[in-house]
Structure 1
Amino acid sequence: MSALAGLPYDANMPAIVWSMYLIAAALYCLPMLIAFARNVEYKWGLYVGNLLLGWTGIGWAYALYYAVFADKERAPQPRLSLVR
């Protein structure tokens, strides 16, 4: 007899588990999404760093901090000229 035989079966359990996976994936990608939305400097480095070190928790927290508080990239300024 199985150890799980006495437990009640919930038909919605697969949907709940997949929802938790999707929420976890969205939270894991949150620093990358914020960095690209804010167009921060070194956003590609943050992307790679979060993918490689985000699972540690410390890497994810640093990536989130950098994504929120880093300076945005400067847009190229149009050159002024006297001749049109």
Structure 2
Amino acid sequence: MTLEMKKFGKILNSRSSGREAVLRARQIINGSQGFDQIILDFSEVEIMSPSFADEFISGIRGAYSGKKIKIEGIKGNIVIKDTLEKLKLL
């Protein structure tokens, strides 16, 4: 199951936006079947704030603790990579 994070916007900011994105992501994930991991693909996302990252990724991990969460699409984006590393989400 791959979640294209660009569907939530190219600029992901604020804790409240992260909370709203978790609710939408859960609807997408719950409508899918037969997957053992969730891939968060950050391709084409330009910026992600620490508050959004914390709220969103923690929310997904909490809701799907039995699934592996994998992060992709950050190789060329130092801003997102640094945010995730500082929050110890990578």
Q: Which has the larger radius of gyration?
A: 1
- TM-score relative to the length of structure 2: 0.25
Choose between structure 1 and 2: higher helix proportion: 1
Structure with the greater relative contact order (CA < 8 A, sep ≥ 6): 1 or 2? 2
